[in-house]
């Protein structure tokens, strides 16, 4: 069900739904911070915190447990280094960690000892209901 919907469409809809959840709020510093050392500027989108939260929640709903370091590699990108070759750097771990902590307080994610973060039944229902609203059934 989740794999059948285009990722960007599901993530944008999930982001709008996550804005309604009171536990998920961007911190004060989120407006000024870059999402990784490979970026030159902070995100231009106003709701980028919710979009990243939705992308992480979708990622957890698709597969098995993941940790912060694996998610850092997923959301990392290449850094422009002038005339030197580009090099891939991981994304900011603090942002991912704070988002996972907020998703845990909302009850969508739980920590599995030795495995990483996993989606809970409440999180699966949340994602599936959002996906159903997109398919219209």
Instruction: Count up the domains in the chain and report the number.
Output: 1
Q: Cα(first)–Cα(last) distance of the chain, in Å?
A: 11
Residue 2 is assigned to a structural domain of this protein:
no
Decide if 67 is inside a domain. yes
pLDDT at 15 over 90: yes
For 47-91, write each residue's pLDDT tens digit.
999 999 999 999 999 988 899 999 999 988 898 889 999 999 999
Please give the pLDDT value at position 137: 58
What would the mean pLDDT of 18-44 be, rounded to a whole number? Answer: 88
Residue 15 lies in a domain: yes
Q: Which long-range contacts (CB under 8 A, 24 or more apart) does 106-112 make?
A: 106/21, 106/23, 106/24, 108/57, 109/57, 109/60, 112/65
- Does the pTM surpass 0.85? The reply is yes
Domain of residue 76, CATH code: 1.10.10.10
Query: Length of the chain, please?
Result: 137
71 lies in some domain: yes
């Amino acid at each position: 069900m989740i794999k059948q919907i285009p990722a960007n469409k599901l993530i944008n809809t999930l982001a709008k739904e996550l804005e309604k959840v009171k536990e998920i709020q961007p911190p004060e510093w989120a407006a000024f911070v870059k999402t990784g050392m490979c970026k030159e500027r902070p995100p231009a989108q106003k709701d980028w915190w919710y979009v990243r939260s939705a992308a992480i929640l979708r990622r957890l709903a698709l597969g098995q447990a993941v940790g912060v370091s694996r998610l850092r590699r997923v959301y990392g990108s290449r850094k422009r280094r002038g005339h030197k070759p580009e090099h891939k750097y991981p994304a900011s771990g603090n942002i991912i960690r704070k988002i996972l902590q907020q998703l845990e307080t909302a009850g969508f994610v739980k920590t599995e000892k030795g495995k990483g973060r996993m989606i809970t039944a409440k999180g699966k229902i949340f994602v599936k209901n959002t996906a159903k609203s997109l398919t219209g059934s």
